[in-house]
Amino acid sequence: MIPVLGFAGRRVVVLGLGRSGLSAARGLSAGGAEPLCWDDRPEAREAAAEQGLTLHDLSRREAWEGVASLIVSPGIPHLYPRPNRWVADAMEAGVPLDNDIGLFFRSLAADGFHRFESPPRVIAVTGSNGKSTTSALIHHLLTESGRESQLAGNIGRGVLDIDPPGDGGIVVLELSSYQTDLARSLTPDVAVFTNLTPDHLDRHGGQGGYFAAKRRLFAEGGPDRAVVGVDEPEGRFLANQLVEAPEDDRLIRISVERKLSGPGWSVAARKGFLSEWRKNRQIASIDLREMKGLPGAHNHQNACAAYAAVRGLGLGPREIEPALKTFTGLPHRSQLVAEIGGVRFVNDSKATNADSAAKALAAFTNIRWIAGGLGKDGGIGAAAEYLGHVTKAYLIGHSARDFALQMDGTEHEICTDMATAVARAAADAQPGDTVLLAPAAASFDQYPDFERRGEDFAACVRRLAG
């Protein structure tokens, strides 16, 4: 556990008692603060009370008296589309807001760090798509090369629940826009920006606010090194803002869409080959095409980001390449569930928007596409350009009929539920086909989360296999 510094003897309210809120409460208590916990859900309050945490009813008139800070969980809005009522009350009372990520960065350095031969470092990864795979891949590359590494944030453990890093230890954080938007302290040693596509726009007041939330990771803390995807205008703008001159190698640009050149440092993947260039000279080349844990251009982008991040910490290409080959991928992200009669069944339930579904569709051909759920603005939108890869679509969930109207001549069938969709796709599939779950929609119409949706798909596939 990381004890939270700076609040010893002070009262701190923790709002939202999911994983991050409970972690924050424990970290505050370990640092000598008095955490006061609240959640509008009775079951969450009961679970916190069972852990010995103090509940604090925020509806009471005196609720904010003597409170030093309000720690807000990521799912709770603080500005757009409108502030949560308790957040609004805190701001009215002049109580500063923060979150567990801000507490982590202000508290990570310990008294014993000065005795370490190599101080611990933090790699923080943000972006719209690929954050989880990139973070997990960085962690994998580090551990395979013998470095001490811990994975936390939006993936793995709560940031304050990790062990204090040891000599040369590295903490890899996946950070969402909800987390970077509010954290009062953001000081990673290496910051990674994968890409930017429209998402969470209501929460950030539009695309500009969404980008601004991501940009804070680079603007607030001034990382020693930045890895930036430059395939979108926002990434190119961010990269431009971070350098003092074209040869400034504090920045590593990454791309899977363009050839990168110039005197700076870059990593790009084209036609399945990752290439590193520095000072107009090629440093390394790695063939990604047969790496089963990294299929498709979107995973090649993740590989570029992870490769660049660990290169920025001093790992060599000869260490990185064999570790890339042993990466098996993450559950629910282009995960090969089974191969039955020459037909692959791939679970990409994490494709909760059209852009991430497009990346999954681009990675395969002869696709039997299972899509649908609680659709987002624009429907299948960005995925439409890859409908040529789709032999037939099998549509489920709340948005099945809306998606059907956007199929643009692609054969499709409304199946409503997962079991029906898997059964129909499997019956139609021929050897060489891929049955792909890439919903392009949220899961909340039929499942509590995308993980449960992916697990249901996998269970349906296992029943096919007998």
The encoded tokens of residue 19 equal 């994983």
The encoded tokens of residue 262 equal 């110039």
The encoded tokens of residue 425 equal 């796709």
CB neighbour burial string for 407-442, b if at least 16 within 10 angstroms, e if fewer? beebebeebbebeebbbbbbebbeeebbbbbbbbbb
Q: Is residue 129 a known part of a binding site?
A: yes
Q: Is residue 271 a known part of a binding site?
A: no
Q: Which residues contact 299 (CB under 8 A, 6 or more apart)?
A: 130, 133, 288, 293, 329, 334, 363
Helix (H) or strand (E) holding 436: strand 434-437
| Contact criterion met (CB below 8 Å) for 374 and 445 | yes
Distances, alpha carbon 245 to alpha carbons 163, 205, 265, in Å? 39, 33, 12
Neighbouring CB atoms inside 10 A of 132's CB total 21
**C-alpha distance across the termini of the chain, in Å:** 44
| Contact criterion met (CB below 8 Å) for 380 and 357 | yes
Helix (H) or strand (E) holding 64: none
Give me the numbers of helices (H) and strands (E) for the chain, helices first please. Answer: 15, 22
What are the backbone dihedrals phi and psi of residue 34, each rounded to the nearest 5 degrees, phi first? -110, 95
Question: Rounded CA gap, 437 and 76, in Å?
Answer: 29
Q: Is residue 420 a known part of a binding site?
A: no
Question: Rounded CA gap, 165 and 311, in Å?
Answer: 20
Q: Is residue 132 a known part of a binding site?
A: yes
Q: Is residue 375 a known part of a binding site?
A: no
Question: Rounded CA gap, 244 and 180, in Å?
Answer: 24
Q: Is residue 145 a known part of a binding site?
A: no
Distances, alpha carbon 42 to alpha carbons 35, 38, 39, 48, in Å? 18, 9, 7, 10
Q: Per 3-state DSSP, what percentage of the chain is helix, strand, and coil (rounded to 5)?
A: 35, 25, 40
Q: Is residue 391 a known part of a binding site?
A: no
Annotated binding site: 127-133
Annotated binding site for ATP: 127-133
